[in-house]
Amino acid sequence: MAFAAFATTTGPGEELQRRRSPIALLLLLPGILYLALFFLTPLVSLVLTSLQVPSATGEPGVYDPAFKWENYVTVINDYLPHILRSFGYALIATVLALAFSYPLAYFIGVKARPWPLLQSLMLVLVIAPFFISFLLRTLAWKQLLSDESFVITTLKALSVMPPDAHFTGTPVAVIFGLTYNFIPFMTLPLYTTLERLDVRYLEAGSDLYASPLQVFRKVTIPLSMPGIVAGTLLTFIPAAGDYVNASRSFLGGSDTQMIGNVIEANFLVLENYPAAAALSIILMSVILVIVTIYIRRAGTEELL
């Protein structure tokens, strides 16, 4: 939703209405300064921290300023599997969330148009998960899908699952949790673009001899591209940095740890700040590169 809003609000002709005025500066200054102070400079401190060396005194959790670029080599050597796993899990979860959300958003945004009340109530159900703690929802799944749960015992009784298999603690469970938790972020922007989709384009498509499938591929999908881009970004970015789903107390296990878990552990438990900072910078850089390439390729540069 947020990303789509960046794309849709600068229409042509708006420029003429804008004036130059000192008021603009007064309006911008507090917020911009705030972001400079609490968003930009933290990124700088993160870079500086990532290059620090352990204190000469040998005291744990204390570090001296330095420019030790080898920190990056060390964390990549130590945590390459976690980094790759994070992006792999996030990618799969994004694809699954898109597949899950598109038909739902299409139904709410296009098919349900004659019934606005139904439309808005379904939309409430889509955003309802936002109203209840993200952590409690994840825990609920953990308990619903635990080894003793009805679902898993039934699956085992039906021989769908081997008797000694587990669900929680596996990569499947983590990807399932990531997918579930970010579905609303995918569905909402898709809904926003599909809701504005002019059905006459679809009618024109089928009038011009396109089969329903061709209409979907050649007309619906391209027209809903802004929603697809926004939704996939809103899912992929937080999923790649998430550490709740993969945490051992939630859906993860020891071999499902993601980059977020490693950053958390290094920062808050091991007090290895340089490693946590270096990992954060790597995560942020990779995401920025992916986002930039993706936005370019999808042809919606006005997102920025």
- Of the pair 74, 120, the CB lying nearest another protein is at 120
Beta-bridge partner residues of 53: 64
- Of the pair 75, 281, the CB lying nearest another protein is at 281
- Of the pair 69, 150, the CB lying nearest another protein is at 150
Beta-bridge partner residues of 63: 54
Between β-strands 53-54 and 63-64, what pairing exists: parallel, antiparallel or unpaired? antiparallel
3-state secondary structure of 64: strand
Provide the minimum distance between the beta carbon of 249 and another protein in the complex, in angstroms, as a whole number.
4
- Of the pair 17, 57, the CB lying nearest another protein is at 17
Residue with tokens 């995918």: 186
- Of the pair 72, 216, the CB lying nearest another protein is at 216
Q: CB count, 10 Å around CB of 33? A: 10
Provide the minimum distance between the beta carbon of 70 and another protein in the complex, in angstroms, as a whole number.
19
Provide the minimum distance between the beta carbon of 18 and another protein in the complex, in angstroms, as a whole number.
5
C-alpha span between 303 and 4 (Å, rounded): 7
3-state secondary structure of 54: strand
C-alpha span between 68 and 55 (Å, rounded): 13
- The two three-digit tokens of residue 144, written as one number: 């619903």
- Of the pair 38, 158, the CB lying nearest another protein is at 38
Q: Which of 198, 189, 178 is nearest to 123 (CA)?
A: 189
C-alpha span between 107 and 95 (Å, rounded): 19
Provide the minimum distance between the beta carbon of 165 and another protein in the complex, in angstroms, as a whole number.
21
Provide the minimum distance between the beta carbon of 47 and another protein in the complex, in angstroms, as a whole number.
9
Provide the minimum distance between the beta carbon of 58 and another protein in the complex, in angstroms, as a whole number.
19
